[in-house]
Structure 1
Amino acid sequence: MTIRHIQKRGSKALGSEAPKVKMDEGLEEKTETFLKKDKQEWQIESKFNGSKLYGWFTDNESAVTVIMVHGFGVDHNSLNVHAQLFDNLGCNVLQIDDQAAGKSEGKYLGFGYIENLDTLDWIHKLLTERPDDKIVLFGASMGAATVMLTSGYDLPKNVKLIIEDSGYTSAADILSYHCQKRFHIKGKWLIKGISMVSKIRAGFSYKQTDCKQALAKNKLPVLFMHGKNDFTVPFEMRDELSTGGKFEKTVYESLGVHIRSYYIDSKKYQQVVENF
């Protein structure tokens, strides 16, 4: 197990293919309708390593834009059904491909660290194009870790809310969980060794992916959303994340698996998001 296996494009280090879950009635049709809408292709250059990154902007002539950050080993299309939700609520939607995902360049996945620096670049890009927009950051799984890490910075006043769905506490914690679950080893020293290699090759160590540490500095309201049957990121991590820091918090739970709460509990999920 090396950094090439764990952090490469399309890595399955956090699990196999996403579980097939039947969506609530109407979600597939609404998502298909959303995908037919016109989208502007945007491009930025990562200040972290110069990679060209791509995003797709759906303009609803709204004063609110949701920046959507996908998870580990997938691309922006993995959140199309969630993008449809925000589109349905009348928001503009900016779906991005992270480093080493989809159309974007990049050699290594960053467990949220590289991605959170790139998210700052996307915020700057959005405000260059639309300086008066209010911004909501939405992330799922590694994307959830990304937006939580981003919360630790002094963000522009335009950024108003953060929504994390199925996020983990840190790279070391989630890899340790999978080592024990899948390989029945603690893997502490193995993870430390890979973290050191990551620092040399990818430019960051796993210590820089501590979401609890970032949330301790956060001042924005955060909505924590997790499914109780999530075996990719254990449900208990939600409570670890939501009990620290001094900021406004809302928590939501379902009986869903990883990033699938909206699929099976769409009415309540949408209601909670809309109220938040």
Structure 2
Amino acid sequence: MIIFLLILLLLVVLILNAFFLYIQQRGSKALGSQAPKVKMDEGLEESTKKFLEKTKEEWQIKSSYNGSKLYGWFTNNNAHVTAILVHGFGVDHNSLNVHAQLFDKLGCNTLQIDNQAAGKSEGKYLGFGYIEGLDLLDWIKELNKRKPDQKIVLFGASMGAATVMLATRNDLPKNVKLIIEDSGYTSAFDILSYHCQKRYHIKGKWLINGISLMSKIRAGFSYQQANCKKALEQNKLPILFMHGKNDFTVPYKMEGKLSTCGKFPKKTYKSLGVHIRSYYVDSINYQSAVDNFLKMYL
């Protein structure tokens, strides 16, 4: 009987570890990271191409979380405001080139980073915003060391949006002035539950809790620690919530759950776009919302 139970326990551990690797290992496609094909509004491709031709400084830091080497690219616009752009799940900094172009157009310097386990950066596991949020603190410190007296804007998309929201759990430097989140989710547990039901037609509460335990053992955090709603309850920074009503990667209903959390200055922008593609199809209104938010709180 004891041998049977030990074998059963070992089998459960192996299954949970396999799910953990499927979900959090570098290159994971567990949340369907293939970007939707959406035609950009006229002029966006050309202006993004011009932005990419600008000289970029490659920066490197060491994660205080686990020692991984992390890379970022700084575009100097000779401004007193720098936007740090945090990308989403299963992609790298290039996924936000068009958004970096927007901040450049609005007169900001930009720092595009590769998260842990993405692009050029080291790291084995994706952190659903928890690990990335701690690394973001390191990037802010690096920016303040290299470019003192900057006002800082945090922009994140999808998991990057979760990252910038989760970063508010910490005591951010006073020169971090505002946050813009595009298509962020309420928590790691919520988004995994949603995809379990949407993609695999199962209610995976116990499974996700088990994988969360494996994440705690192997990656150092549980899914309960990646809870944006709890983070926002303590937040004081102004936040612009930007979501598309046709987003089926992060369901649009999560926007309402996020924007009603906490007591802090907040604005909302809504489009008919799909996941992280509002700017592609509604560029005039999207740019206006960002521009007005910057002018209001910088």
User: What TM bracket, shorter-length normalisation?
Assistant: over 0.9
1:111 match: 128
Give the secondary-structure state (helix, strand or coil) at the position aligned to 1:83.
Answer: helix
C-alpha deviations, 1:99-125, integer Å up to 9, x for none?
A: 000000000000000000000000000
2:41 match: 24
Query: 1:158 aligned to 171, 175, 181, which one?
Result: 175
Q: Distance in 1 between matches of 2:191 and 2:30?
A: 10
Q: Equivalent residues in 2 for 1:39-188 (5 A)?
A: 39-188=56-205
Q: Say whether the 8 Å CA contact 1:139–1:165 is kept in structure 2.
A: yes
Q: Say whether the 8 Å CA contact 2:33–2:90 is kept in structure 1.
A: no
Q: Distance in 2 between matches of 1:12 and 1:231?
A: 15
Structure 2 letter corresponding to 1:208? Q
Q: Distance in 2 between matches of 1:246 and 1:234?
A: 23
Q: Say whether the 8 Å CA contact 1:153–1:218 is kept in structure 2.
A: no
Task: Give 1:16 deviation, angstroms.
Answer: 4.6
- Aligned CA-pair RMSD: 0.6
Q: Say whether the 8 Å CA contact 1:51–1:99 is kept in structure 2.
A: yes
Q: Say whether the 8 Å CA contact 2:62–2:70 is kept in structure 1.
A: yes
Q: Distance in 1 between matches of 2:33 and 2:169?
A: 31
Q: Distance in 2 between matches of 1:42 and 1:244?
A: 35
1:241 match: 258
| Pairs aligned (count) | 276
Q: Say whether the 8 Å CA contact 1:153–1:217 is kept in structure 2.
A: no
Q: Distance in 2 between matches of 1:83 and 1:9?
A: 24
Determine which structure has the larger helix proportion and give its number. 2
Q: Distance in 2 between matches of 1:196 and 1:272?
A: 40
Taking only the aligned residue pairs, the percentage that are identical comes to: 76
C-alpha deviations, 1:81-106, integer Å up to 9, x for none?
A: 00000001110000000000000000
Structure 1 letter corresponding to 2:284? K
For structure 2, which runs of at least 5 residues remain unmatched after alignment?
A: 1-17, 294-298
Change (3 A) 1:229 1:63: same
Give the secondary-structure state (helix, strand or coil) at the position aligned to 2:177.
Answer: strand
Q: Distance in 2 between matches of 1:244 and 1:207?
A: 17
C-alpha deviations, 1:22-76, integer Å up to 9, x for none?
A: 0000000000000000000000000000000000000001000000000000000
Determine whether 1:33 maps to 2:50: yes
Q: Distance in 2 between matches of 1:48 and 1:17?
A: 28
Q: Distance in 1 between matches of 2:104 and 2:57?
A: 15
Q: Say whether the 8 Å CA contact 2:33–2:89 is kept in structure 1.
A: no
Structure 1 letter corresponding to 2:86? V
Give the secondary-structure state (helix, strand or coil) at the position aligned to 1:151.
Answer: helix
Structure 1 letter corresponding to 2:247? D
2:288 match: 271
Please list every run of at least 4 consecutive aligned residues from structure 1 whose deviation after the TM superposition is greater than 2 angstroms.
Answer: none
Structure 2 letter corresponding to 1:139? G
2:242 match: 225
Structure 1 letter corresponding to 2:145? T
For structure 1, which runs of at least 5 residues remain unmatched after alignment?
A: none
Structure 2 letter corresponding to 1:256? G
C-alpha deviations, 1:189-220, integer Å up to 9, x for none?
A: 11000000000000100010000100111000
Structure 1 letter corresponding to 2:255? R
Q: Say whether the 8 Å CA contact 2:33–2:91 is kept in structure 1.
A: no
Q: Distance in 1 between matches of 2:204 and 2:117?
A: 25
Structure 1 letter corresponding to 2:60? Q
What TM-score do you get using the length of structure 1 for normalisation? 0.99
Q: Distance in 2 between matches of 1:216 and 1:101?
A: 29
Q: Distance in 1 between matches of 2:108 and 2:59?
A: 17
Give the secondary-structure state (helix, strand or coil) at the position aligned to 2:102.
Answer: helix
Structure 2 letter corresponding to 1:149? L
